[in-house]
Chains A and B, each alone.
Chain A
Amino acid sequence: MQKDLTYKSASQVPPQEGFREAYLLHLADTTLILSQRNSEWCGHGPILEQDIAITNISLDLLGQSRNFYQYATQLINNTTNTKAAKVLPSGEDLGGATDEDKLAYLRTEREFKNLLLVELPKGDWGQTILRQYLFSQYQYLLFEQLQQHADEQLAAICTKALKEIKYHVRWSSEWVIRLGDGTTESNARMIKAIEEIWRYTGEMFIPVEYETISGIDFSALKKQWEEKIKEVFEEATLSIPEKIFMQTGGKTGVHTEHLGYILTDLQYLQRTYPNSQW
């Protein structure tokens, strides 16, 4: 199945062995962890319709994540080079073959490449909403470019996902406006949410080595993103914080303490009852 692919970014940076697998895992881990976080609202949403909305978004994210894992699996299983094999779960004898479940359930904290932003606790509804909006808006702009990627399968996954992300952006931005420009209480909570979350947004635009294969101009992406955020924040009577120090590390496996706990929940069953299946 593995095709000889040419990369858009090839003229600037030669594609490195293992970068594509690592990038796919970054995309897969990010969507998996956010899906898991949002699903904590199942049965606890502020009202039934919004409980259903946030869990619908979880399901969309889980679907994206499965597509990325499945594609990564295909590449990893077909690869003969050792650098790509490095993304395999450590200490796990896979007998040469991995699958989407092994990638999700049997890798350790340091092997996860998700953004720090998505592993933060769900917080109150305001924090969940704000994180979702900041992420969905980023994902929308990113996938819009990735759907032009020379790697056809990556492009297909992103094209399909975009149809759903459109809804996520609309829903979460409407909520940011409703809460920011709402009551004194909701406004105060949104300000607090920004204080908590903003320092984790910088990582989205600070590329690590393997992201060169995406062919994305991250500083241009950041500018686009900030313009969109500014529009919604203005309507929500909220302001973007002045330059502050941005936390990084998630993309290369250096996480906050929160990831360990969420993986404990997520991986519990597979680790307690190895090889159990649906």
Chain B
Amino acid sequence: MPDTELTKKENSSKQSETQVLPSGEDLGGAVWSVLETITDPEVPVLTITDLGIVRDVKINGELIEVTITPTYTGCPAMDMIAMNIRMALIENGFTAIKITTILAPAWTTDWMSEAGKQKLIAYGIAVPNKKFTIAADGVECPQCKSTNTKLLSEFGSTACKALFQCQDCKEPFDYFKCH
């Protein structure tokens, strides 16, 4: 993992030094691959594309228009995410950037990518499960996979999570709520 991360970073910095930007259809793809490297400040194991926060990328001549949507209404990370998108695009040689926030359609955990879900489990956070649209006892423990678990609170360390404790391995864990 760290090796590939490094290579990626090297590549991107090389790209910005030479300022060679892809053209035409490739441009959209290039923007998306930059966006795929930006992580969520509160759940850093996920990227903003894993979360489904990026709703659209439009190329309008020189102008790159990125449309994003907040996960929760009061998500304090949104301003930072918008800034990080701008910084990452500038680093990669894009200069004219417009970031728009939309509220409709409202964000849902259905937009979370499969890869994102796997990363969350590996990180120790239980993933949204349609059986538990309302958080309740029984969400699978991401550590020992037991379903003998107890809901401690519907409100966790961030707006998107609920707090659980596994009754078998005794580990407390977060559940990424269905939303």
A binds B: yes
> A residues within 8 Å of B by Cβ?
49-50, 52-53, 56-57, 59-64, 66-67, 152-153, 155-157, 159-161, 163-164, 167, 170-171
Q: A60-B73, A63-B72, A163-B179 are in contact. Are A53 and B106 (CB under 8 A)?
A: no
Task: Say how far B165's CB is from chain A's closest CB, in angstroms.
Answer: 11
CB pairs A–B below 8 angstroms (5 shown): A50-B153, A52-B155, A63-B70, A64-B73, A171-B154
Task: Say how far B158's CB is from chain A's closest CB, in angstroms.
Answer: 8
Q: Which residue of the partner chain A has the closest CB to B104?
A: A156
Q: Which of B70, B74, B152, B155 contacts A171 (CB 8 A)?
A: B155
A53 near B153: Cβ-Cβ < 8 Å? yes
| Docked pose: A63 CA to B78 CA in angstroms | 11
B74 near A62: Cβ-Cβ < 8 Å? yes
Hey, which chain A residues are within 8 Å of B73, CB to CB? 60, 63-64, 67, 157, 160-161, 164
A167 near B155: Cβ-Cβ < 8 Å? yes
A164 near B72: Cβ-Cβ < 8 Å? yes
Convert B76-110 into 0s and 1s, putting 1 for each residue whose CB lies closer than 8 angstroms to a CB of A: 10000000000000000000000000111011000
Q: Is B163 an interface residue (CB 8 A)?
A: yes
A64 near B74: Cβ-Cβ < 8 Å? yes
| Docked pose: A61 CA to B72 CA in angstroms | 11
A56 near B155: Cβ-Cβ < 8 Å? yes
Q: Is B60 an interface residue (CB 8 A)?
A: no
| Docked pose: A237 CA to B159 CA in angstroms | 32
A159 near B153: Cβ-Cβ < 8 Å? no
Task: Say how far B156's CB is from chain A's closest CB, in angstroms.
Answer: 7
B163 near A49: Cβ-Cβ < 8 Å? yes
Convert B151-170 into 0s and 1s, putting 1 for each residue whose CB lies closer than 8 angstroms to a CB of A: 01111110100010000000
Q: A52-B153, A53-B155, A170-B154 are in contact. Are A59 and B74 (CB under 8 A)?
A: yes
Hey, which chain A residues are within 8 Å of B104, CB to CB? 152, 155-156, 159-160
Hey, which chain A residues are within 8 Å of B34, CB to CB? none
Hey, which chain A residues are within 8 Å of B155, CB to CB? 49, 52-53, 56-57, 167, 171
B72 near A60: Cβ-Cβ < 8 Å? yes
Convert B128-159 into 0s and 1s, putting 1 for each residue whose CB lies closer than 8 angstroms to a CB of A: 00000010000000000000000011111101
Determine which residue in A57, A59, A61 has the highest number of CB atoms from chain B within 10 A of its CB, and name it. A59
Q: Is B75 an interface residue (CB 8 A)?
A: yes
| Docked pose: A160 CA to B154 CA in angstroms | 18
Hey, which chain A residues are within 8 Å of B163, CB to CB? 49, 52
Task: Say how far A57's CB is from chain B's closest CB, in angstroms.
Answer: 8
Q: Which of A49, A59, A67, A156 contacts B153 (CB 8 A)?
A: A49
| Docked pose: A94 CA to B15 CA in angstroms | 44
| Docked pose: A155 CA to B106 CA in angstroms | 11
Task: Kindly list the 4 A-B residue pairs having the minimum CB-CB distance in the complex, ordered from nearest.
Answer: A63-B74, A63-B73, A156-B104, A49-B153
B154 near A63: Cβ-Cβ < 8 Å? no
**Other than the known A59-B159, A156-B102, what 7 A-B pairs have Cβ atoms closer than 8 Å?**
A49-B163, A52-B157, A56-B159, A60-B72, A152-B104, A159-B103, A167-B154
| Docked pose: A230 CA to B106 CA in angstroms | 31
A157 near B154: Cβ-Cβ < 8 Å? no
| Docked pose: A60 CA to B76 CA in angstroms | 10
Determine which residue in B76, B104, B156 has the highest number of CB atoms from chain A within 10 A of its CB, and name it. B104
Hey, which chain B residues are within 8 Å of A170, CB to CB? 134, 154
Task: Say how far B25's CB is from chain A's closest CB, in angstroms.
Answer: 31
Hey, which chain A residues are within 8 Å of B153, CB to CB? 49-50, 52-53
| Docked pose: A171 CA to B151 CA in angstroms | 13
Q: Which residue of the partner chain B has the closest CB to A61?
A: B74
Hey, which chain B residues are within 8 Å of A64, CB to CB? 73-74
Task: Say how far B177's CB is from chain A's closest CB, in angstroms.
Answer: 8
Hey, which chain A residues are within 8 Å of B157, CB to CB? 52
Hey, which chain B residues are within 8 Å of A56, CB to CB? 155-156, 159
| Docked pose: A159 CA to B153 CA in angstroms | 24
Hey, which chain A residues are within 8 Å of B75, CB to CB? 63
| Docked pose: A26 CA to B125 CA in angstroms | 39
| Docked pose: A52 CA to B154 CA in angstroms | 10
